[in-house]
Chain A
């Protein structure tokens, strides 16, 4: 099984940077994913890390340390539309993807 922890809520100001941390415990790590979910909508894919290091994709970056069981999602130049829940998910094997409870980010003007 897996244990995935991430903060419940974070608040930041428009234009700022926010870092969402995720820690996990798993017996068969095969990738870490970040998804974004706006209220009332389906989750959408943001990033994927399977090797240690930083993956950058525009304003969003994701970092992974497999030895520490740790990842973070970095959101830069925050915009109002970034207000959403951010879900950390860990895969075991080829198919089983387990999700954390999600971090709700509120961006204030």
Chain B
């Protein structure tokens, strides 16, 4: 089934540890995104990538890094996790370019930092 796969589904992490959230899409979409969703704040863009090999900062990039080595994969890394990074993380992709450019979301990764 075509779509976006995120892993892990859920993770509890000690503060200070490094963590990588994985995201893979099989729709050959050019653009990919990472959002975090917190109660009362909605979805906030962390980083995005217009195409393989390029990345850009979103609204809340501090403490996070991304890479886009190929079209399908867009991992998000927390170099040293802090409790404020406890959230639900959604990866998304879109065809990119002009037009509707509708985002398709993965199922999310729930991260708890203690």
B33, B50, B102: most-surrounded residue (chain A CB, <10 A): B102
Q: What distance in Å separates the Cβ of B27 from its nearest Cβ neighbour in chain A?
A: 14
Say yes or no: A41-B107 contact (C-beta < 8 A), given A97-B45, A99-B42, A102-B42: yes
CA distance A48 to B98 in the complex (A): 13
Q: Is the CB of B100 within 8 A of A48?
A: yes
- Taken residue by residue from 1 to 44, chain A's Cβ proximity to chain B (1 for < 8 Å, 0 otherwise) reads as 10000000000000000000000000000010100000001111
Q: Is the CB of B42 within 8 A of A48?
A: no
CA distance A24 to B101 in the complex (A): 20
CA distance A33 to B40 in the complex (A): 19
Q: Is the CB of A33 within 8 A of B102?
A: yes
- Asked if A65 CB lies within 8 Å of chain B CBs, one says no
- Asked if B43 CB lies within 8 Å of chain A CBs, one says yes
The interface on chain B, measured as residues whose beta carbon lies within 8 A of the other chain's beta carbons, has a size of: 28
Cβ of A84: which chain B residues have Cβ within 8 Å of it? none
Cβ of B41: which chain A residues have Cβ within 8 Å of it? 101
Q: Is the CB of A94 within 8 A of B101?
A: yes
Return the chain B residue nearest A40 by Cβ. B108
- Asked if B82 CB lies within 8 Å of chain A CBs, one says no
- Asked if A98 CB lies within 8 Å of chain B CBs, one says yes
Q: Is the CB of B90 within 8 A of A42?
A: yes
Q: Is the CB of A43 within 8 A of B102?
A: no
Q: Is the CB of A95 within 8 A of B31?
A: yes
Which one, A41, A45, A102, contacts B103 given CB within 8 A? A45
B41, B97, B100, B107: most-surrounded residue (chain A CB, <10 A): B100
* Interfacial residues, chain B to chain A (CB-CB below 8 A): 31, 33, 35, 40-45, 48, 50, 56, 58-59, 90, 94, 96-98, 100-108
* Interfacial residues, chain A to chain B (CB-CB below 8 A): 1, 31, 33, 41-45, 48, 50, 87, 89, 91, 94-102
19 residue pairs A–B, Cβ–Cβ below 8 Å: A33-B102, A41-B107, A43-B103, A43-B105, A44-B105, A45-B103, A50-B100, A87-B43, A91-B101, A94-B50, A94-B96, A94-B97, A94-B98, A95-B96, A96-B48, A99-B43, A99-B44, A101-B41, A102-B42
